[in-house]
Amino acid sequence: MAEATDPPRESFRLSQLLYDARYRSMTIQVVAAILIMLLLVELVDNTVTNLAALGKDIRFGFLWSTAGYDINQQLIPFTSQDTHARAAVVGILNTLVVAVLGCILATIIGVLAGVLRLSSNWLVARIMTFYVEAMRNTPLLIWILIVFAVMTEATPQPRDFREGGSASLILWDSVAISNRGVYIPRPIWAEGSMLVVAVFILSVIGIFILRNVARKRQQDTGQILPVFRLSLALFFLPTLLAYFVMGRPVTLEMPELGGFNFAGGIQIRNSFIALWLALSLYTSAFIAEIVRSGILAVSKGQTEAAFALGIQPNRTMQLIILPQALRVIIPPLISQYLNLTKNSSLAIAVGYMDVRSTLGGITINQTGRELEGMLLLGIFYLITSLIISSAMNFYNSSVKLKER
Amino acid sequence: MNKKVFLGALTVAGLAAGASAAATLDDVKARGSLKCGSNEGLAGFAAPDANGVWQGFDVSLCRAIAAAVLGDAQAVEFVPLTSQTRFTALAAGEVDVLIRNSTWTFSRDTDLKLDFKGVNYYDGQGFMVRSDIGVSSAKELDGTTVCIQTGTTTELNLADYFRVNNISYEPVPVATNAEGQQQYLAGACDVYTTDISGLAATRATFENASEHVILPEVVSKEPLGPAVRHGDSEWGDIVGWTLSALIAAEEYGVTSANVSELSANPTANPEINRLLGTEGELGAMIGLDKDWAARAIAAVGNYGEVFERNIGEATPIGLARGLNAQWTDGGLLYAAPFR
């Protein structure tokens, strides 16, 4: 009788690591990992050795010593007697301000340009094509310098605003555009103004509630509320009412010429304007292309189907096209926001005091701690980018195609 | 075998890293040229002329060192450095010596691991304004906008001086002298502040130099001098004593015109003889031949000649000797004895 035997088990041989497809990939990965680790060890060791040869060590104590320099744009109070760490924080805040405002403006311009580039109007479409190509095919640094040069060379000096001078304030004497920056009125918060602010915040929350109610009502009964007009009324009316009831607690401090410069009002520095506009314009060109590709990715059949059901064109865009286009738009948009944030480190070119200029510039220079400063700078940009991308990924997962 | 190659490469990398720290003199001789970190353009101190040849007060010292070490004053490679990059470039070995209007301070000399080898210009920080803004003293600058080069001692002095005197101001950081000049002329700042020599040099390039005044206040001490990396004392000695040789040459009346005659035969003055190598072996003590100082003086002239040719009263920059006169004339220049 025949005995059933298992097929002979092949014992593992060392040569299989190289010649057997089942194990080869593992071998390659292990070797690669070892090589990469050796490279890293060598890199760190080389750095430490070279620093030791120069007689330098790696220490972060400099962060707590007196900075000794002044910073012009400060969102939190800073004097030259504060520490380098605080100077770094001032710089970080300046970076974040320009990055956030840049992302907002870039998105607005980018969406407009992207939609208009698809316009059936020949002239509008061509102008937008020209805009997009001109912006994205020239280096960002050039745009920063161009905007800065325009702001400093083509605008009047503060002394030209004196009586008999060649320049004057615009918008009912409230805004001064000078070669040191744009001065706008500053709101003065008197007693009772907090109530006005509270009313304003409540009405903004109210608008969101209204939108939800309207949507539910439409789904239940099919009736459409005039959401936009109601929101507009809710946005302005309660706040204005509270403002007058409380006896106008919020007043404006106008910029006035005093001494050498404008005193009073808020100064928006030219370096900030140059960086903000240039970053926004440059990134908006890329966003425009992303938006265009997103809209084109939605098949024409969707529009035709919506029209066949009798849905109006603007609601077709709002309810059918845009939600589908967003799925295509959001992922590359994340990269553009990250790019904009990191590109803001070009601020040094126009003397905007971002974190690269304070921690990565003056602090490094005055303390001689290049490696430590650059490490901290790298960690800051890394963390910021990770936060932005996780926030955007969260948003992306809320709009992406849900398979049920 | 692969492993051996890798280890070999590691060893070579380690050795190269260790060797780069010392023996700048050997590097310079092997290369045949001196890498001199210089200003990116400051009239009178360091700027290329119409033919692209670097000229100026700081440049002359570079050429003197090259003449002493290599025997050729033209064997200098000038590396223009901004105020921000200069010390890093020196520490990283991109330049052999830094002669770039750099102020000798405690922390730079110690913590930055540099060695300042003497002073070639005693300076102080000042302020330049347009004469029509009606300011005659730095104390009246309250509320002004001030252009300032970042990464400089001036930045710190400014913050100190204005804080002590309760003057509020708005700093506008600029990266280079050229940028500061452009912003100041465009009126983006009321005041431009840097070392007074730099202000004079910058003003000399203005179309209407007379419309700008340098305020009388000198708010700091700015001894400007050549710097080398810490830890290479032999090279530091050469740089320091070349500067001393130019200063001593003026004191003893040795000029570029008479140096060849004086160094041909021993003279009656033993100091001159030791300086020019006709007596003693001073050159060998710093690893050079005995004519090193004579070559340096022949190449650029003594300190006084260098000063008058580049930034003196006969030039557009028009700086008086002031503190930078010989000690015998009431100045601070005092070369240690060549002995």
Residue range B244-280, pLDDT digits in tens: 999 999 999 999 999 999 988 888 899 999 999 988 8
pLDDT at B3 > cutoff 60: no
pLDDT at A4 > cutoff 70: no
Chain A contact set for B20 (CB, 8 A): 50, 53
How distant is the Cα of B314 from the closest Cα of chain A, in angstroms?
Answer: 34
Chain B contact set for A79 (CB, 8 A): 163
What integer best gives the mean pLDDT of chain B?
A: 87
Residue B15 contacts A, CB cutoff 8 Å: no
Percent of all residues in chain B with a pLDDT value above 90, rounded to a whole number: 49
B113 shares a domain with B31? yes
Chain A contact set for B189 (CB, 8 A): 180
**B292: domain range?**
21-122+224-329
Q: Is residue B13 situated within a structural domain?
A: no
- Please give the average per-residue pLDDT across A40-62, as a whole number: 84
pLDDT at B19 > cutoff 50: no
Chain A contact set for B229 (CB, 8 A): 54
Distance of CA B233 to the CA centre of its chain: 19
Q: Is residue B12 situated within a structural domain?
A: no
B230 shares a domain with B203? no
From CA A121, how far away is CA A123, in angstroms rounded?
Answer: 6
B118 shares a domain with B46? yes
pLDDT in tens, B35-77: 999 998 888 999 999 998 999 999 999 999 999 999 999 999 9
Beta-bridged to residue B115, according to DSSP, are B228
B237 shares a domain with B312? yes
User: Which of B196, B220, B244 is the last residue in one of the domains?
Assistant: B220
A-to-B residue pairs, Cβ atoms closer than 8 angstroms: 114
Residue A260 contacts B, CB cutoff 8 Å: yes
- Give the CATH number, domain containing residue B137: 3.40.190.10
Give the CA dihedral B107, B110, B115, B118, nearest 10 degrees: 60
- Please give the average per-residue pLDDT across A171-178, as a whole number: 78
Q: Which residue of B has its CA nearest to A352?
A: B173
Model pLDDT, residue B18: 42
B233 shares a domain with B145? no
The answer to whether residues B164 and B147 touch, using CB atoms and an 8 Å cutoff, is no
B324 shares a domain with B184? no
Residue A339 contacts B, CB cutoff 8 Å: no
B238 shares a domain with B211? no
How distant is the Cα of B179 from the closest Cα of chain A, in angstroms?
Answer: 10
Q: Is residue B2 situated within a structural domain?
A: no
How distant is the Cα of B200 from the closest Cα of chain A, in angstroms?
Answer: 24
Segment A384-389 long-range contacts (CB within 8 Å, at least 24 positions apart) = A384/A95, A384/A96, A384/A99, A384/A341, A385/A338, A385/A341, A385/A342, A388/A334, A388/A337, A388/A338, A388/A341, A389/A334, A389/A338
- Please give the average per-residue pLDDT across B298-320, as a whole number: 92
Q: Is residue B14 situated within a structural domain?
A: no
User: Which of B176, B195, B220 is the last residue in one of the domains?
Assistant: B220
B91's torsion region: left (phi>0), alpha (psi -120 to 50) or beta?
Answer: alpha
B284 shares a domain with B165? no
Residue B316 contacts A, CB cutoff 8 Å: no
B58 shares a domain with B177? no
- Please give the average per-residue pLDDT across B214-225, as a whole number: 90
Where do we find the tokens 């974040």? A96
CB contact under 8 A, A368 and B173: no
B136 shares a domain with B95? no
B116 shares a domain with B39? yes
Q: Is residue B81 situated within a structural domain?
A: yes
pTM score, whole prediction:
0.79
Query: Which one of A38, A69, A260 has the shortest CB-CB distance to B145?
Result: A260
Give the CA dihedral B179, B181, B183, B187, nearest 10 degrees: 180
Higher-scoring residue by pLDDT: A402, A242 = A242
Model pLDDT, residue B20: 45
How distant is the Cα of B1 from the closest Cα of chain A, in angstroms?
Answer: 15
B111 shares a domain with B239? yes
pLDDT at A127 > cutoff 90: yes
Model pLDDT, residue A74: 86
Domain count, chain B: 2
pLDDT band at B22 (very low <50, low <70, confident <90, very high): low
Phi, psi at residue B57, to the nearest 5°?
A: -65, -50
Q: Is residue B47 situated within a structural domain?
A: yes
Model pLDDT, residue B14: 43
User: Which of B220, B255, B276 is the last residue in one of the domains?
Assistant: B220
- Please give the average per-residue pLDDT across B164-186, as a whole number: 88
